[in-house]
Chain A
């Protein structure tokens, strides 16, 4: 066992990278669920975003175009869910699962010509003095811009939900859509926008995997991250900062367990391999002891005639 071979600074820096896709998808889904909609299609929207972003970044040579089109791709796919659940009034669980299956197949089809290609590199932040600082430099000032976007988005969602009128209306729709409707708010329109925001965030998260974290395209490359993001929203009690904590915890333990293995720590590998799931759930369950509950209208179908 040689723990000294683990460099804590590099560890923190790489756990932030590992956590970002989960965080982006979870923040998007949090907004969707706050509006009272349960979209289980996160995985499908992520993988679609991953290939849309990858394909356009390769074609144009610009990672920025890639990320923008990933967000658009994810949002467009979520429109399918919108049509099914908001206009055709289909069951949300079934529609969400269908969206995941569709997204996985559709992305495989889109991606056939992109296997084995390399995307353009996304530049990292390089601030002359700050990035060279010991410890804080690698941790805080030398990541890619999308990672900061993830954190900024968390802060923005938190502030909007807590302090603004828009956030209040969104929460009202999620808690009691009949009352919100009676007050004259356009329930369906608000939900459609929330779902599209969720789709865009999931798409960004997917593109983060295919453009920065891995970076390449392979079928099924999101490998369940969308489901982890979904679970995280629930365990984080629909609170943005807790979602951030959960994502960093999950990413952190994932990276940590690989590092411990590489350092030859004498803990059986089986325990290390399950530790990210276990630790994240335990911590968030303890945190959620304050009995904050799900949005009351979560998953319920709304129609103005009811």
Chain B
């Protein structure tokens, strides 16, 4: 009896102690779909995590779990993180959406942030970047630089995010070079270096001399380098180890300011469920250094395009734009609304092939 009381007391004290401890330190969790060393998507999120640590020092504790499969496994990882006392959890892949919503219901006091998602709740925010703005700049450079007029595109999953990128890149490549043609390969993975390399090789063998990728590894760059004369772009992170050629520029994800701002909101108790979609203007999307392999006038045009996107004087989807079947989507001068963009499930006119469903 005495022992039991003693133990209960000890457990209680311990519980109080950890609770008190947790109040001092804000615990921020990150769930990653790939390894932090992927050199792309997950790497940039982890840079954001490190920035949070650097900003708040002892006041925060960050934890992360990498290589989490999209699906039921994510739910287990999230539950564990919430049980371990996380105050704020960032789930950094589209496929974590269901799991995030489910776990958020069970832990109403924990705040969740789901990247590239669309489902929100009182304690679930969504955030994403307007990568299509960066794709526009990329498309312009790609269209200007291709000599075979064939641009290869390594696509991951047929979700609006990826389709938006293809459309934006195509529209701007076409503006720079009316003869341009897109060859799209769906690899159904975010990260599989061998498969990405194979896809890049298949595209190069079929005459593509520019490769755009929406997958996370640097394998396509290696394949392009080996083939010679093929242009690539860094995806998510700078991938500057392949600069100045084949990598001539990059589409950068800059998560750090957002992560710092949201962590601060939790600390100050001002956190609210919001839907954030930031672009070049807010600095969430960046354009990696355009190397000297790009002709000076193309570089100047690309930077002008970036500037126009930043100030908002130009929207990446400005009419006239038709859908693939020829029906009118945007009339002359009309710009796409966010609802249309968020749910985009069609190619624009001129792209050959069907979107898998």
**Interface set of A (CB-CB < 8 Å, partner B):** 5-7, 10-11, 14, 18, 21, 108, 111-112, 115-118, 209, 213-216, 218-223, 225, 254-255, 258-259, 261-264, 266, 268-270, 273
Contacts and interface: CB of A to CB of B under 8 A. Distances in A.
Contacts of B191: 218, 220
A223 B203 contact: no
Contacts of A117: 241
B205 A7 contact: yes
B202 A255 contact: yes
Nearest to A258: B202
B217 A218 contact: yes
Contact of B193 (A221, A262, A266): A221
Contacts of B37: 108, 111-112, 115, 218-219
Contacts of A223: 189, 192-195
Nearest to A265: B353
B95 interface: no
Contacts of B356: 268-270
B284 to A, nearest CB: 24
Residue among A6, A116, A222, A254 facing the most chain B CB atoms (10 A cut-off) = A116
Contacts of A254: 195, 198
Given A112-B37, A214-B222, A219-B37, A262 B198 contact: no
Nearest to A271: B356
Residue among B187, B207, B353 facing the most chain A CB atoms (10 A cut-off) = B353
A262 B35 contact: no
B314 interface: no
Contact of A214 (B186, B193, B202): B193
B206 A259 contact: yes
Chain B contact patch, size range? 35 or more
* Majority DSSP secondary structure for residues of B touching A: mixed
Contact of B198 (A116, A222, A255): A255
Contacts of A116: 39, 218, 241
A214 B206 contact: no
A273 B353 CA distance: 16
A258 B191 CA distance: 16
Residue among B185, B219, B354 facing the most chain A CB atoms (10 A cut-off) = B185
Contacts of B67: 219-220
A268 B188 CA distance: 13
B183 interface: yes
Given A221-B193, A273-B188, A214 B219 contact: yes
Contacts of B183: 262-264
Given A14-B205, A258-B199, A263-B206, A218 B152 contact: no
Contacts of A259: 202, 205-206
A221 B356 CA distance: 26
B198 A258 contact: yes
Contacts of A112: 37
B352 interface: yes
A223 to B, nearest CB: 5
B130 interface: no
B194 A214 contact: yes
Contacts of A213: 194, 197
Interface string B232-250: 0000000001000000000
B206 A216 contact: no
A261 B206 CA distance: 11
A202 to B, nearest CB: 15
B254 interface: no
Interface in B155-199: 183-189, 191-195, 197-199
A216 B219 contact: yes
A219 B201 contact: no
A273 B189 CA distance: 11
A60 B217 CA distance: 25
B38 interface: yes
B193 A218 contact: yes
Interface in B107-153: 152
30 contacts: A5-B206, A10-B205, A11-B205, A14-B198, A14-B201, A18-B194, A108-B35, A111-B37, A116-B241, A209-B193, A213-B194, A214-B194, A216-B193, A216-B218, A218-B38, A218-B191, A218-B193, A218-B217, A218-B219, A223-B193, A223-B194, A254-B198, A255-B198, A261-B184, A261-B185, A262-B199, A263-B183, A264-B183, A268-B356, A269-B356
